[in-house]
Structure 1
Amino acid sequence: MDFQKDIRPQQRFDNFKKSYQLLEKYSSLELTSEIEKAGLIQFFEITFDLALKVLKDYLEAQGYIVKSPRETIKQAYQIEVIDDGHVWIEALSSRNLTTHTYDEQFTEKFVQDIQQVYFPLFKSLYEKLLEEY
């Protein structure tokens, strides 16, 4: 893939990489305080948003036009850049809820989902894209 014309995709990937590494560092820890859980959720939000931007850049470089996060996920799944498209869609729904909801039960479940379900999605994407950038 040739991103030489535009430096922004590389910069976005670098930001995704930094955010992914922070999420990786903290997602394996046992989080006990509200602030730790809130921090992990914040790392998820940033990593997820950057993952979508990186995917959009990747797809556009391949000649695809995607207008929304949902379209980005669907197209990336169709061309096998990501696995588990339905789980990515669930992550998108959860991401959208985080900005509008604060509920202790939601937070507990969401932290578990980040650690056990969503982090592996980012890991797979990171490993695939590392070869491209």
Structure 2
Amino acid sequence: MNEERLYEKLNDYKRAFTRLENAINITIEDDIVYDGTIQRFEFTFELSWKLMKAFLEYTGISEIRSPRATIKESFSYGLIEDGEKWLEMMVDRNKTPHLYDEGEAKLIYEKIKNKYHYLLSQLAKKIEAELNQI
């Protein structure tokens, strides 16, 4: 992984995160807001673990193949603060394509807004700080 490609991934992630942030700031109580926010969360989460993986490869840590392994290695490296919450986020992300229960969708929406948003926001900041030190 070269530095230019890593910065491309970081910028893609930051754009997706901004779109997610815009979605969680909408206060309208409507199913379409929940659905749109959850879809943006799915996309942002996918980019987050791929960005972590790319960063780890850039630093010489390779042979990571899955989101779970990437999260665990990122926690060990210090890229993310709370590995357990990231794993919980991954589990919720894996549920989202199969959400047919409105109550479950609202529960995941609330987690996105009140818990996962913060974790996702910290990732870009941490990677940028790490890149400035390398």
Structure 2-normalised TM-score? 0.90
Structure number having the greater helix percentage: 2
Instruction: For residue 67 of structure 1, give the secondary structure of its aligned residue in structure 2.
Output: coil
Q: Which residue of 1 aligns with 2:8?
A: 11
Mind listing any 5+ residue stretches in structure 2 that lack a counterpart?
none
Instruction: For residue 102 of structure 1, give the secondary structure of its aligned residue in structure 2.
Output: coil
- The 5 A counterparts of 1:1-133 are 3-4=2-3, 7-65=4-62, 66-131=64-129, 132=131
- Read off the aligned partner of 1:52 and give its amino acid letter: W
Structure 1 outlier segments of 4+, above 4 Å:
none
Distance in 2 (CA, whole Å) between partners of 1:31 and 1:108 is 13
Distance in 2 (CA, whole Å) between partners of 1:31 and 1:58 is 37
Mind listing any 5+ residue stretches in structure 1 that lack a counterpart?
none
Instruction: For residue 128 of structure 1, give the secondary structure of its aligned residue in structure 2.
Output: helix
Number of aligned positions between the proteins: 130
Structure 1-normalised TM-score? 0.90
The answer on whether the counterparts of 1:45 and 1:95 sit within 8 Å (CA) in structure 2 is yes
Distance in 1 (CA, whole Å) between partners of 2:128 and 2:60 is 20
- Read off the aligned partner of 1:3 and give its amino acid letter: N
